[in-house]
Amino acid sequence: MDLLFYHRKLHRLIAIDLKLGRFKAQYKGQMELYLRWLEQNEMQPGEESPLGLLLCTEGSEEQINLLQLDKSGIRVAQYLTELPSKEVLLRQLQKSLAAAKELSTDR
pLDDT number for residue 54: 93
pLDDT at 107 over 70: no
Q: How many CB atoms lie within 10 A of CB 2?
A: 10
Task: Report how far residue 39's alpha carbon sits from residue 70's, in angstroms, rounded to the nearest whole number.
Answer: 17
pLDDT number for residue 32: 94
pTM over 0.75: no
Higher pLDDT, 102 or 37: 37
Predicted confidence (pLDDT) per residue in 40-65, tens digit: 999 999 999 999 999 998 877 777 77
Residue 54, strand partner residues = 17, 76
